[in-house]
Amino acid sequence: MLNKLYKVLPYFLLAIIVAVFNCILDGYVTKKMMDILDFTLKKDMTSVKESAPMLIIVSLFLVPLGILVAMTYSLFKRRANLVLKKYYVNKVFDKNIAEFQKENNAKYISSLTNDMNTLETNLITGIYTVVVALANFGVGVWLLSTVDPKLIILSIIVILINLAISIVTSSPTKKAYKERSDLFDNYTSYIKEVLSAFHIVKNNNLQDKVTEDYYEKSEQIQHKGYIIERMFSFINATESFVMNASLYGVICVIGYFAVKGTITAGGVLLIVQAMERMADPLFQISENLPKLFTSGDLIKKIEKTLENADNHEETLDLPEFREAIEFKDVSFQYEDDDRIVLQDVNLSVRKNGKYLIVGPSGGGKSTLLKLFRKYFKQSSGEILIDGKPLRDIKKEQYFSLVANVEQQVFLFEDTIKNNITLYKEYSDKEIEKALEHAGLTDFVRNLKDGLSTIIYDNGKNISGGERSRIVIARALLNKASILFMDEAFASLDMERAKEIEETILALEDITVINVSHVIFKDTKEKYDRVYTVKRTVY
Ligand SMILES: Nc1ncnc2c1ncn2[C@@H]1O[C@H](COP(=O)(O)OP(=O)(O)OP(=O)(O)O)[C@@H](O)[C@H]1O
């Protein structure tokens, strides 16, 4: 994840160069002003006249430069945030389907929101602030050195002590940030669950229980936030003590020079200015450095959620499905589960054939379909497609050959047309044909906005049957070689289900594998073969 930030290195360098240039010019203006003060006190008006024009020009130049500093910083921050978020989303979609489904996906929401916000503050803003603060501190040191170079040694000692404090204190803060991030995962997961069960909570008068749980989880997060803040107040107090002590040391040195009479009025003011310049950056460094050190652990935690346990390399191509899919002595059990769900399955599915899978509830029909779909790998035996092991076929190629219709449909908050075409180009004729075969022609015709009607929130403004038919139209339009159906007709009335099943069975150029409880005697006979899954779980 960190190496992705190399992409924004030019923006970072640009922002830093502009900010450092601004610091140097600002320091230069301070130095020149003090020189002019000394010239004035010495009544050396010639030198005042020589120095003044340059001072005015540079001071005026500082105004647009300040704006440029803000703009380049904001550009870097925006780019860096986008790079991290884009990388994260890409990696999430690299996850294996089965592994993703096994996890609680609230942790991804939490990472994309809470963890990314923490990275923005601690890493992106942190690194910029520390580097610019170092530059400001450097300019302060330079100003001091123009009075007496010995003061540089004192400045280096101060910065080294600060650095040491930041390193020593980073370990407990890292732990606290990691714990708070885990609490956020848990919190997001809870909110997601409660909101999706909103009607169940209301119907069963569970508001008090939910409010109490919510309060407890919020309290845990607030408490961890309080612990982190408390740690930082201790760290900041220690560092500010060190800093104040060193500044008093500088004041003693000034006093010594003043007594000796080796320091001018401009020199005294310059030292005061330089100390001010060093104090602010030191505070910023001490605040941001420990946060910066915590980012590494947070990134490791985020990366861990993105790892696939199964990294089997798929090496075989399958541009088209030509012959058959065969299961040879296939057995399957879910990971971390001793029960054998499927045992010694032998079957063959020929191209363009129509197959029905039936069996008792819990018998393993959906599991069998998941093996066909390449969501899981068999525990033993072989699954071959056109003679090649399915597990070695490249996922993207296989997925582009198949279409899925499930009982649980997903619709985008977009027009009916985009939900059917899935943002691909099809002719009006092709779309009309898919609508007709899915039994949607009348439904769309009766809508004021027709195909441009927006579907809200996964189809809240249409019926369950209409939702299923939209997904069926999507699969038909997709012209996939293989259609997997898992209880696709469960939300349809008998007549409509039979009608659509007949249409699908009449399609010539598609292999259909249908898992269904809804079985009609006359359509059953139209299947090439009916496979019955027996309960083998033990
Ligand atoms: N992710 C999983 N992890 C562990 N066991 C699972 C998992 N999914 C399903 N099972 C178990 O595998 C067995 C077969 O489940 P499956 O969903 O394939 O049955 P099914 O025939 O499709 O059932 P139904 O008709 O009720 O949908 C069941 O005993 C189920 O508890």
Per-residue confidence band for 538, with pLDDT thresholds at 50, 70 and 90: low
CB of 482 closer than 6 angstroms to any ligand 1 atom: no
Q: What mean pLDDT is predicted for residues 328-345?
A: 89
Q: Which among 388, 383, 384, 312 is positioned nearest to 342, based on CA atoms?
A: 383
Of all protein residues, the one whose alpha carbon is nearest to atom 4 of ligand 1 is 334
CATH 3.40.50.300 residue ranges of the chain are 324-532
Which residue's CA is the closest to the ligand 1 atom numbered 31? 362
**Distance between Cα 334 and ligand 1 center (Å):** 9
Mean pLDDT of 92-116: 83
pTM above 0.80, yes or no: no
Percent of the chain with pLDDT over 90: 27
* Position in ligand 1 atom list of the atom nearest CA 363: 21
- Supply the pLDDT for residue 112: 85
Return the bridge partners of 358, or none.
Answer: 532
pLDDT in tens, 26-51: 989 888 888 888 888 788 888 888 88
CA distance 503 to 506: 5
More reliable by pLDDT, 102 or 388: 388
Using DSSP bridges, classify how beta strands 380-385 and 388-389 pair: parallel, antiparallel or unpaired. antiparallel
User: What is the assigned CATH class of domain 2-306?
Assistant: mainly alpha
* Residue whose CA is at the smallest distance from ligand 1 atom 14: 364
Q: What backbone phi and psi angles, to 5 degrees, belong to 448?
A: -55, -45
pLDDT of 85 higher than 60: yes
Ligand 1 centre from 323 Cα, in Å?
29
343 CB near ligand 1 (under 6 Å): no
For the Cβ of 341 lying below 6 angstroms from any atom of ligand 1, the answer is yes
SS3 state at 490: coil
pLDDT of residue 280: 79
In 126-150, which residue ranges form alpha helices assigned H by DSSP?
126-147
Nearest CA to ligand 1 atom 25: 361
pLDDT, residue 409, reads 79
Q: Is 336 in the pocket of ligand 1 (CB under 6 A)?
A: no
Question: How far is C-alpha 374 from the geometric centre of its chain's CA atoms?
Answer: 26
Q: Is the sign of the CA dihedral 384, 388, 389, 391 positive or negative?
A: negative
| Mean pLDDT for the chain overall | 84
Which CATH superfamily, name and number, covers 324-532? P-loop containing nucleotide triphosphate hydrolases (3.40.50.300)
How remote is the CA of residue 451 from the centroid of ligand 1, in Å? 37
Whether the CA torsion 195, 198, 200, 201 is positive or negative: it is positive
Tell me, using a 6 A CB cutoff, whether residue 365 lines ligand 1: yes
- 116-172 pLDDT tens trace: 888 998 899 999 999 999 999 888 888 888 877 777 777 777 677 767 776 777 677
Query: Residue 503: is it exposed, middle or buried by C-beta count within 10 angstroms (0-12/13-18/19+)?
Result: middle
Positions of CATH 1.20.1560.10 in the chain: 2-306
Highest mean pLDDT among 249-258, 273-282, 336-345, 457-466 belongs to 336-345
Query: What angle separates helix 265-306 from helix 9-41, to the nearest 10 degrees?
Result: 170
Reading the block at residue 351, the tokens are 């191209």
DSSP characters over 311-376: -PPP-B--SS--SEEEEEEEEE--TT----SEEEEEEEEETT-EEEEE--TTSSHHHHHHHHTTSS
**C-alpha 362 to ligand 1 mean position (Å):** 5
Judged against a pLDDT cut of 70, whether residue 530 lies above it is answered with yes
> Would you say the CB of residue 363 lies under 6 angstroms from ligand 1?
yes
Q: Which of ligand 1's atoms lies nearest the C-alpha of 102? A: 1
From CA 536, how far away is CA 158, in angstroms rounded?
72
Complex ipTM value? 0.97
User: Which of helix, strand or coil describes residue 488?
Assistant: coil
Distance (angstroms) between ligand 1 centre and the Cα of 285 equals 56
Residue nearest to atom 23 of ligand 1 (CA): 362
